Amino acid sequence: MKCPYCGHLDNKVTDSRLNKECTITRRRRSCLSCNQRFTTYERLELMMPMLVKKDGRREAWDRQKMVIGLEKACEKRPVSVDKIDDFVDNIERKLQDLGAKEVLSKVIGEWVMEDLPELDEVAYVRFASVYRQFKDVNEFMAELKTLLDARDELPSNSSGRHEHSRD
């Protein structure tokens, strides 16, 4: 591993830890040249399916692209980086479980739309406004109504949210 400070290739691992799902290894390293410490993360790389875009183009799955999109949707919201990583991990598990060589990007978008309200409802609305490409305020309001109706169908306080009222 190349030192991010001096570029030297020799370093030693001073500590290794697994995340709670045992899917990522965090390693603390110390450069043998400049003695600076840095952290690396290892994750198993599995063959992910190709994404088929709306226009028919094929594109390799890019985890970072999804993370960036979710970070934008969650900007200035109380959503940790760990929760976003867990969310993307869940999407990747679904992709792997499909076992397909190609997946329509629309399928992944729908998975995000289904699960995002549990992560953060404001992030859901932000994501939906881009993903659904609303043509006017009425389409946007219809999506909000769907979200509120779905929330009303949940058993009381099952999600830890307070009941809301609409007059």
- Tell me the average pLDDT of the chain: 86
pLDDT band at 45 (very low <50, low <70, confident <90, very high): low
CA distance linking residue 134 with residue 139, whole number of Å: 6
Check residue 156 and give its pLDDT.
Answer: 53
| Positive or negative torsion for Cα 36, 45, 119, 137 | positive
| Angstrom distances, CA of residue 75 to CA of 62, 69, 80, 127 | 20, 10, 10, 11
Q: What are the pLDDT digits (tens) for 85-104?
A: 999 999 999 998 888 999 99
Single pTM value for the model: 0.62
Check residue 163 and give its pLDDT.
Answer: 43
Q: What are phi and psi of 25, to 5 degrees?
A: -110, 125
Q: Give the mean model confidence (pLDDT) for residues 32-60.
A: 91
Check residue 99 and give its pLDDT.
Answer: 86
What residue ranges do the domains of the chain occupy?
11-43, 50-153
Residue 48 has pLDDT above 80, yes or no: yes
Q: What are the pLDDT digits (tens) for 126-167?
A: 888 887 777 778 887 887 888 778 777 766 544 444 444 443
Check residue 149 and give its pLDDT.
Answer: 81
Q: Give the number of C-alpha atoms closer than 13 A to the C-alpha of residue 24, restricted to the C-beta side.
A: 10
Assigned token pair, 98? 């499909």
Strand pairing class (50-52; 102-104): parallel
Q: Give the number of C-alpha atoms closer than 13 A to the C-alpha of residue 121, restricted to the C-beta side.
A: 13
Q: Give the mean model confidence (pLDDT) for residues 55-67.
A: 94
Check residue 154 and give its pLDDT.
Answer: 66
Residue type, 33: S
Check residue 108 and give its pLDDT.
Answer: 94
